Structure 1
Amino acid sequence: MNRAPLFCDVALAQRIERVEAHLMAAAADAARLRRGDDVGFVMRVAGSVATFAEDGSPFNKIAGLGFAGVPDAAALDKIERAFAARGAPVQAEVSALADPAVGALLTARGYRLESFENVLGLALDGAYERASAPGIEVRAARDDEFDAWLDVVADGFAHPDGQGVPSHEDFPREVLVNAERDFATAGVVPYIALYDGTVAGGGSLRVADGVAQLTGAATAPAHRRRGVQTALLSARLADAAAHCDIAVVTTQPGSRSQQNVQRRGFDLLYTRAVLVRRIPPL
C-alpha cells in the first residue's frame, strides 16, 4: 500500500522549531561552559532564542522565530547590539510556516535573504529494523571512541558531496570540532559507523518532545558509496522509534543528503529562509 506523504501543519512546524531552538540554547550554554567565559549568550525573544557560542560557530543565530508573536523593536535592538558587540552578523532562520509578519519586520530592519535550508520529516509510526550492507556496523559511540568519531565527522564535513545548492556557510575544522563537542554536552548522542572494523562515518541523534533530530551525518571520502549513510540513518531511526513520533533532518536544498533521506521515505515539510543582517562592530 502506498504511504501518504507526511503533512506539516503550523502546529507541527512550531513543535519542530521549538525543539530546534531548545537545542541551540543548550549548545550555546555548553560552549560557555567549555570556554569558561562570558563570550556566549542565550536570549529569549517571542518564543524563540538568539544564541551566540563563539566566533564563527553554527550556533550563532536566531532560531524558532514566528510562532509565538512578533518580537518588538526593543527586543531586536538588544539582540542586534549583543551580536554587534561580538563583531558578528545576526542570522535569523525563519520557517515558511512562521507568521509572515516576521519576514516583513526583519527585511524592514535591513536583513537580507542569503540562503534556504529544507526540513524533512518521517512519521515514526512503527518499529524500524536496523539495515546495513555487509561489513558495516553502526552503534552509539563509546566514550573512548569519541575522538575517532570527531575526526571522521570533521573529515566528512570538510569534503561535501557537491550536489545541490552550496551552503552559504563554511566552518573551519576547529569550529566544527568545538560544535560537535558542545552538541554532545547538550545531549546529542554520537553514532559511529565501522566498515570492516575501520571507522568510516559518524552521525548523531537527539530526542526531545517526541521529535528525533538527526543532527548531522558524514562519511569519510574513502568509504563513500558503500551504504554507510544508509546504515547510519537506519540505526538512528530504529533507536528513535521507541521514543518519538517523528524524525526530522535539515539539509541543503537539492543535496545528496536530501536525496538520501527522501529515498528512505522522508517528506519535505517546509523550508527555512536564512535572513542575515550585517552590523558594523561597536
Structure 2
Amino acid sequence: MIDDAGAEMTEAAFMFDTVTRAPEPARSRLGAAAVRLGGGVALAMPGSGSPYWNKALGFGLAEPFTPAVLDAVLDFYRAQGVSQAVLQLVPAVLFDGFAQIAAARGLERGNPWIKLGGDPAKVRAADTDLRIGPVPAAEAETWADLLLSNFGMPAGDLTAMLAGTVGRQGWQPFGAWDGGRIVGGGNVFVSGEGAALNAAATSPSHRGRGAQSALIAARAAVAAEAGARHLYAETGKPVGGAHNASLSNMVRAGLAPLYERDNWIWRL
C-alpha cells in the first residue's frame, strides 16, 4: 500500500469534478460521464477528440482492487462507446495475477507517471518577468484555449469545460501574462487538507522565463491559505534519460517524488 493515499484520492476528486460539472450543452456533446466504483473513479468523454479524458484511477485505497472491479471499469467504457482508455494504477494495489488477467482483457502497460507531494506552505518562491495572477472571468476562455492548444486538444466544448472552473468553489486557475497577452496557465484544486496542481502549460514562445515555477508557487500559496496541508502533482516519468521540464520544476519548487504509477492502456 502507498504511504499517502491522499495523492490518489485528491486527483480522483478533481477529475470527477471536472467531468461531472462540465456545463451544458458542452457536457452532452462531449458525452461526459463518470462513475464511482470500487473506491475509485472512471471517467469517459468519447466526444472530446482526445483519449486523455477516458481514464480511471484511485483504486485499491478505500477498498480492494479486484478482478470484479477491473471488469466493472471495462464494462463502463464499453457502455460509453469508448474505444481507448487508460487505467492509472499504483503497483502496490494490484491483485495477484493482475498482469495475466490484464493481458487477457486486452490491457497493455504504458509509460509510468511520477506522483509528487509536499507541504504547500514550504514551496519555494520563484521569479519571472511575467505577471502571475488569478484568471478573471473575462479571460476564462482565452486561458482555457491556451492550455488546450499546448496539450494538443481541440477547443470548443473542452474550452467550456475548463473555463467553467474559473470562479468555481474548490478551484483557483492562474495565468501568466506578457503585457496584456496570456501566455501560460495552471490550475489548483483544493479538497480538505489535500490540493492538486493540474492543467499547467506555457506557450512555446515564452518557455524558459520562469512561468511554471512562478505558477507552482502562486498556486501553492492559495492552497495553503485555503487550509491544504498537502500539495500533490503528477507528470510523466522520463524515458531513456530524456529531460522532463515539469518534473524538474516541481522538484526545484520543493515537491518530492512519492511513488510511480503505471498506465495500463485498454483498447476495444
TM-score by length of structure 1 reads 0.78
Give the gaps of 5 or more residues in structure 1.
1-8, 159-170
- Taking only aligned residues, the RMSD between alpha carbons, in angstroms, comes to 2.8
After TM superposition, give the deviation of residue 275 of structure 1 in Å. 0.6
1:261 match: secondary structure = helix
2:32 to 9, 32, 40: 40
Change (3 A) 1:36 1:15: closer
Give runs of aligned pairs for residues 1-282 of structure 1, distance below 5 A.
Answer: 10-12=2-4, 14-31=5-22, 33-35=24-26, 37=28, 39-55=31-47, 56-67=50-61, 68-73=63-68, 75-85=69-79, 86-101=81-96, 103-104=98-99, 105-124=101-120, 126=121, 131-133=126-128, 135-158=129-152, 171-173=153-155, 177=159, 180-181=162-163, 187-242=170-225, 243-254=227-238, 255-279=244-268
Q: Is the 8 A contact 2:165 2:173 kept in 1?
A: no
Q: Is the 8 A contact 2:126 2:210 kept in 1?
A: no
After TM superposition, give the deviation of residue 250 of structure 1 in Å. 1.0
Q: Is the 8 A contact 1:129 1:238 kept in 2?
A: no
Change (3 A) 1:101 1:123: farther
After TM superposition, give the deviation of residue 266 of structure 1 in Å. 1.4
Letter in 1 for 2:133: R
- CA distance in 2 between counterparts of 1:224 and 1:198 reads 14
TM-score by length of structure 2 reads 0.82
Change (3 A) 1:253 1:79: closer
Give the share of equivalent positions with the same residue, in percent. 25
- CA distance in 2 between counterparts of 1:174 and 1:43 reads 24
- CA distance in 1 between counterparts of 2:143 and 2:66 reads 40
- CA distance in 2 between counterparts of 1:23 and 1:154 reads 18
- Range moving further from structure 2, 239-248 or 105-114: 105-114
Give the gaps of 5 or more residues in structure 2.
239-243
Change (3 A) 1:122 1:78: closer
- Range moving further from structure 2, 29-38 or 137-146: 29-38
Change (3 A) 1:127 1:17: closer
